[in-house]
Amino acid sequence: MRKRYWVVLGFIGAITGLWAWNSSLIAGPSSNGKLEFIAHRGLHQTFHREGLTNQTCTAERIFPPSHDYLENTPESTNAAIELGADIVEIDIAPTMDNKLAVFHDWTLDCRTNGTGPIRDKKMADLRQLDVGYGYTADEGKTFPFRGKFVGQLYELSEFIKRVQPSDAKLLINFKSDDPEEAKLLLDYFENDPKLNQMTIAVYGGARPVAETIAKRPDLGGYSKQDTKACLLKYIALGWSGHVPEECHNKWVSVPANIAPAMWGWPHRLTKRLAEHNSRLVLLGPMDLTDIKSGTTGIDQLDQLDYIPENFDGYIWTNRLEVLKPALDAR
C-alpha cells in the first residue's frame, strides 16, 4: 500500500514538474519582445475562401470594397505602415529580362488586362498593364478598380523608391522554388541600399529562401518545409524544453488553433525560440478537416481571443485596418 502511495505521489510530482517547466504562468511575457503586426499584402482587397484552390482567381471573388487599395502597390504598403504595420509582406516574380516585378500571381490573367506567365514578359511591357483590371465583387457586373491602376506593376527597385518611411520593414515572398530568384534578389540588395535596409526576412520557396539566408544570415526567414519540420519535432520533444535545430534561426509560423498544442505556449515558447534567434508568427486558424485550404491571418474580430495577453511574437493579418484598432482598444 505504501509503495503504491509513493508511486502515485511520484507520478503527481512528475506531472506537476512537467507543467511547471512548460507553464507560461511561471515564465511570464518577455521583457524585451513585443507584439508586432505583419500586414500580408499591405492593405488589400480580401475575398471569400469557400471552395478556394491554387487555381482560383481571387480577384473575381473579392468582398465589396471598403477602401481603395490593391495589394503589392506602394500606396498599399504606405497605408499599412501609416496604420501601424511593423512589417509589410510583398511578393516578387522574375521577368524575362531578369528583373523582379512586385506582383502576387504566377500569371497575369487573373488580375490584369495581360495574359501569360510573368516570367515570359519584359518589365517594360508589364509597366503598361492595368493591375486593377480583373477585380470584381459582383461576379463581373462591375469592376471598381478597372482603369485606376494602369502602370502600377512596378519593378522592385521602383517600388522601393515609393515606399515611405525609409526605415519601413519588408517581408519578401518568393513565389516559386527557383534558386535563381535568390540570386536576382541578392543582386538587388547589392545595388539598392534602401531595399537592403528595409528587408527584414524572406519566405516561400525552400531553395531560394535557403540560398538567400546562406548569403545573408542576418535575415530572418522560413519555408513550408522548415515550418513543418520544426513544428513536428517541437511537438514531440518540446515538453523537455528542447528546441530542435529545425527551429533555430527561423520565423516559426503556427496556426492559431494549433498553437496551444505547442509546449510552453505562449510566453515560455516565445522565450525558448528567442534563445535560438527565432520568432513566432501567429497565423489564423487552419481548417483541420481540409488541410489543403491552408491558413488565413488573424482577420476577424471574433478571432481576437486567439491572441494572448502580452504576446510578444508576430501577428499575421490580411485586415490590419480591422484588427489593429480592435486590439489597441483591448
> How confident is the model over 56-85, as pLDDT tens digits?
999 999 999 999 999 999 999 999 999 999
Average the pLDDT over 153-174 and give the result: 96
Q: Check: CB of residue 36 under 8 Å from CB of residue 315.
A: yes
Place of cell 491571418: 297
With 0-12 CB in 10 A as exposed, 13-18 as middle and 19+ as buried, what is 67?
exposed
For 281, the 3-state DSSP assignment is strand
The pLDDT, as a whole number, for residue 41 is 96
- The CA distance from 203 to 206, in Å, is 8
The pLDDT, as a whole number, for residue 132 is 98
Average the pLDDT over 250-264 and give the result: 95
CA-wise closest residue to 39 among 96, 8, 84: 84
329 pLDDT band (50/70/90 cuts)? Answer: confident
- The CA distance from 199 to 102, in Å, is 14
**Dihedral angle computed from the Cα positions of residues 133, 170, 106 and 222, in that order, rounded to the nearest 10 degrees:** -150
Between 12-26, 105-119, 146-160, 186-200, the lowest mean confidence (pLDDT) is in: 12-26
DSSP code for 295: B
246 pLDDT band (50/70/90 cuts)? Answer: very high
Task: Mention every residue, 6+ apart, whose C-beta is less than 8 A from residue 213.
Answer: 202, 219, 221, 249
With 0-12 CB in 10 A as exposed, 13-18 as middle and 19+ as buried, what is 310?
middle
DSSP code for 246: G
Instruction: Reply yes or no on whether the pLDDT at 322 is more than 50.
Output: yes
Q: Check: CB of residue 244 under 8 Å from CB of residue 233.
A: yes
Between 151-155, 205-209, 286-290, the lowest mean confidence (pLDDT) is in: 286-290
- The CA distance from 227 to 209, in Å, is 13
296 pLDDT band (50/70/90 cuts)? Answer: confident
CA dihedral (115, 119, 122, 128) positive or negative: positive
The pLDDT, as a whole number, for residue 14 is 46
The pLDDT, as a whole number, for residue 29 is 63
Average the pLDDT over 89-96 and give the result: 98
Q: What separation, in Å, do the N-terminal and C-terminal C-alpha atoms of the chain show?
A: 53
21-43 pLDDT tens trace: 476 666 666 555 689 999 999 99
CA-wise closest residue to 103 among 137, 114, 207: 114
Instruction: Reply yes or no on whether the pLDDT at 10 is more than 90.
Output: no
